[in-house]
Amino acid sequence: MLKPSAPTSNHLRTLNLSLFDQLAHRVYVSILFNYLPINTCNKLQQSLAHTLTKFYPLPGRFRENDHQLSIHCNGQGVEYVETKVNADLAKFLHEPLVDLLPKMDHRPSSPLLGVQVNVFNCGGLIMGIQVSHIVADAFTLATFVNEWVYTSLTGTTKDCLQISFGLLSSLFPTRVLSGPQYSPPPPNSTTRPKIFTKRFVFDALAIANLKNTIEDSTTSSS
């Protein structure tokens, strides 16, 4: 368990979730990052510990006595794993990406964030991240990763970055819900629906043409 570099302030120890968080599926959102050969594992741990001080709910845990409607921001830590992969990154990218994500399950005592750094023979690495969908959406995850990257490169956190948690819960508090609640089947279930993913790649020329089209249309309308 990797803990924040500084403890969370007492007045931030409890984070009430919003109604939208309450309705979110009890699943982990996953993302993979591929990097060319670099030697940054120690730097990754240090910068992650500093980044977690700003994103203090992530190293916390769900409170077990309130049906996971709040997070105890106790700095218990996030799961951090480093693995050695007996293959080269270039070859592995053409094969199914398996076992590159930390093993996570949604229990009150489980970490809300997991990171697995997979180092290949060539020195390249694939970093897999899983975060609870209840506490982080895609925007929050992207903000967290960008802050982590900045801290890893510079050794400091962004002074201008002000993270505010709890605003949504003040506007849309949780409540007692009636009727059955949907929960996705377990990963090994035979009734689990098939999920299809499509990847769209835009090269530099396509993006430049798109920008020119937008600029031309803006000029015409003005």
Q: What is the mean pLDDT of residues 69-83?
A: 92
pLDDT at 68: 62
* Within-domain flag for 82: yes
Q: Which amino acid is at 80?
A: Y
Average pLDDT along the chain: 83
Q: Let me know if residue 221 belongs to a domain.
A: no
> Is 222 inside any structural domain?
no
Tell me the per-residue pLDDT of 166-184, one tens digit each, with 9 for 90 and over: 788 888 888 777 655 555 5
Q: What is the pTM of this model?
A: 0.73
Instruction: Judge whether 143 lies within some domain.
Output: yes
Domain encompassing residue 124: 10-178
User: Does residue 85 register a pLDDT over 80?
Assistant: yes
Whether 165 is covered by a domain: the verdict is yes
Model pLDDT, residue 82: 92
Q: How many domains does the chain have?
A: 1
Residue 204 domain-assigned?
A: no
Q: Phi/psi zone of residue 13: left (φ > 0), alpha (ψ -120 to 50 degrees), beta?
A: alpha
Cα separation, 115 vs 129, in Å, equals 5
What percentage of residues in the chain have a pLDDT greater than 90?
29
CATH code (residue 137): 3.30.559.10
Flag whether pLDDT at 192 surpasses 70. no
Residue 16 or 106, more confident: 16
Within a domain: 117: yes
Whether 134 contacts 68, CB under 8 Å: yes
Which of 82-91, 115-124, 175-184, 186-195 has the highest average model confidence (pLDDT)? 115-124
Nearest to 141 by CA among 53, 55, 37: 55
Whether residue 1 contacts residue 43, with contact meaning beta carbons closer than 8 Å, is answered with no
Distance from the Cα of residue 112 to its chain's centroid: 9
5 in a structural domain: no
Higher confidence at residue 75 or residue 188? 75
Output 79 or 219, whichever has higher pLDDT.
79
Q: What's the confidence (pLDDT) of residue 185?
A: 57
- Residue-wise over 167-192: b if at least 16 C-beta within 10 A, else e? eebeeeebeeeeeeeeeeeeeeeeee
